[in-house]
Amino acid sequence: MEKINLNLSTPWYTFQRKVHALFRNDPDIQVGEIFETNDPVAQYAFDIEVKNHEKYIALDRVLPKIRRFGNVAVAIFLYDEENGEEQDTETLFKTIFDGNPLMDEIVSAEDFTGTKHTYVMFLPRVIQFFNDDISDLNGNWSGIAQEIAREVFEDARGVHFCTSPFIGEPEAKEEE
C-alpha cells in the first residue's frame, strides 16, 4: 500500500484557496498567493488584481478587507488605479461575476416588508482544489460556489448566495 503524506492547512490558507477557486476562471480577476506581513493588524495577506475597473469597484464595495480566524487576521488587498461611484448591490455582483462560468444569474426581489434582496445564483457545479489538510485523503477541498461566496462575501447584507436548480443533464451556459 502506498503511503500518503497528509498535511494540515490552516484556515487562512484554505480561505485564500476558496477565493482563488471562486475566480480562477475569470480572466479579469487574478488572486495572488497568501503571504506573511509585518502588519500588527493582519499577520497574513493576499492580493487580488482586477483588470476590469467596474469589477474592481464592485469587489471593493462588498469584499471584506480583513478576515479573522481566531487571533489571526488576513488582509485582502485589491489593486486597480481608479475609484468609482456608488452602485446598488445587484449591479455590483453582476459586475463582479460577469463572464464567470460558475454564474447562472443575479436577480433582485422585494419581501413583504418592501426590503430588497439580491439573489446570486450559481450553476450546480462542484469546485475542487488542492488543499493540504487531513479532511480528504487526496488533499482536496470540494464544495459549491454558493458556500464559498457566503464565506468570501461575509458582510454582504441583503445578498443571498444560491445554487440554481439542477434539471437534467448539465449544459454549458450559452453566450447572450
- The tens digit of pLDDT for each residue in 78-115 reads 888 554 444 578 888 999 999 999 999 999 888 776 67
Q: Average model confidence (pLDDT) for the chain?
A: 85
Q: What is the DSSP string of 107-127?
A: EEEE-TTS-EEEEEEEPS-EE
- The tens digit of pLDDT for each residue in 117-159 reads 889 999 999 999 998 878 888 888 999 999 999 889 875 667 8
Pairing mode, strands 72-79 and 44-50: parallel
- What's this model's pTM, rounded to 2 decimal places? 0.59
Q: What's the CA dihedral at 24, 29, 33, 38 to 10 degrees?
A: -160
Q: Nearest-CA neighbor of 146 among 125, 128, 174? A: 125
**What pLDDT was estimated at residue 155?**
58
**What pLDDT was estimated at residue 171?**
58
**What pLDDT was estimated at residue 168?**
65
Higher pLDDT, 82 or 50: 50
Measured distance CA(147)–CA(72) in Å, rounded? 22
Higher pLDDT, 3 or 175: 3
Domain spans in the chain, listed from the N-terminal domain onward:
11-163
**What pLDDT was estimated at residue 139?**
87
**What pLDDT was estimated at residue 46?**
93
Percent of the residues in the chain that have a pLDDT greater than 70, as a whole number: 87
